[in-house]
Amino acid sequence: MSETELYDIKGGSSLNSTMLNAIVRAFNLSLELGRMLGSYIRRKRNRMLCPIK
C-alpha cells in the first residue's frame, strides 16, 4: 500500500467501551442522587427524619 492509501484507512469507533461505561455510571449516579433527594424531601415534609445525636 502506498502512503496516501494508508492515510485514507478509517477504523475504530469514536465511542469506545471505556467512554460508554463512564456515561452509564454517570447516569446511574444521577438517578441515585435523585432518589436520595426525593426521599429526603418526602421524609422532611412528613416529619419522619431521625434526630441527629
Q: Where are the domains of the chain?
A: 17-46
How many residues can be counted in the chain?
Answer: 53
Residue 42 has pLDDT above 80, yes or no: yes
Residues 6+ apart with CB under 8 A from 43: 49
Give me the phi and psi of 50, to 5 degrees please: -80, 140
Mean pLDDT across 43-48? 88
pLDDT at 9 over 80: no
Rounded CA separation 40/46 (Å) = 10
pLDDT value of residue 37:
96
The Cα–Cα gap between 9 and 5 comes to 7
Q: Indicate whether 38 pLDDT > 70.
A: yes
Q: Is the pLDDT of residue 12 over 70?
A: no
Q: What is the pTM of this model?
A: 0.59
| 52 vs 35, more confident | 35
